[in-house]
Chain A
Amino acid sequence: AQSVSQHNHHVILSEAASLELGCNYSYGGTVNLFWYVQYPGQHLQLLLKYFSGDPLVKGIKGFEAEFIKSKFSFNLRKPSVQWSDTAEYFCAAHNDYKLSFGAGTTVTVRA
């Protein structure tokens, strides 16, 4: 069965620090990968996605993610975070009719 795992449960960092959130998926077939963000009190929003092509994908708000097929990973990065990046981040993998989410990583950015 397909599953998505996120390495960090809670990350706390200061403004301007770099961020990297780990994500691994377990599925051998073709899979589409996503990062969603959920700001406090709001619904899920798509940050970025990977379907095929360049394994380094750029999303909104300065985020990027790199797909490494050999490692089954799709880590999210941002070189310099802002206070407004405080949110819950979910990695997700989609195949067939189901989008499976990781457990989420809470990111707290301190001013």
Chain B
Amino acid sequence: EPEVTQTPSHQVTQMGQEVILRCVPISNHLYFYWYRQILGQKVEFLVSFYNNEISEKSEIFDDQFSVERPDGSNFTLKIRSTKLEDSAMYFCASTEQGTGGEKLFFGSGTQLSVL
């Protein structure tokens, strides 16, 4: 079965540093998403991306965050200057269709620890 892959599985960084979380969505998918889950809390939507632009973003997704699809396969989330409260598990997801939730495939996540 095709899968969404995320690297690294665990990222440790110092507060104020920039981090880039990488995702390789499933090859024929067109819609891409980032979610995060702070330990013990619910999964929160960050941003959706289609046709090389952001479709929707949440209040969490402020100016410190950006997304990019630098080539035909990668989808990245950049946090410009990390804060302690950015520590969370970040999930990438992709789907063939924007409203096709049944085909929303999640990656296994990147655990970001900000020290």
Contact = CB atoms under 8 A, between A and B. Distances in A.
Given A44-B43, A90-B43, A97-B55, A49 B101 contact: yes
Given A101-B44, A103-B42, A104-B42, A94 B106 contact: no
Contact of A97 (B41, B48, B91, B108): B48
B101 A97 contact: no
Nearest to B102: A49
Given A44-B106, A97-B50, A98-B56, A34 B42 contact: no
Interface residues of B, number: 23
Given A97-B31, A101-B44, A103-B42, A43 B91 contact: yes
B28 interface: no
A94 B50 contact: no
A52 B97 CA distance: 17
Given A43-B91, A43-B108, A44-B91, A101 B42 contact: yes
Contact of B33 (A51, A95, A96, A99): A99
Contact of A96 (B35, B99, B106): B99
B65 interface: no
B104 interface: yes
Contacts of A92: 101
Which of B42, B56, B107 neighbours the largest number of chain A CB atoms within 10 Å of its CB? B42
B100 to A, nearest CB: 9
Contacts of B55: 97
Contacts of A94: 99, 101, 104
A101 B38 CA distance: 13
A34 B93 CA distance: 15
Interface of B: 31, 33, 35, 41-45, 48, 50, 55-56, 91, 93, 98-99, 101-102, 104, 106-109
| Top 5 closest pairs, chain A to chain B, by CB | A94-B101, A103-B42, A101-B43, A97-B55, A97-B48
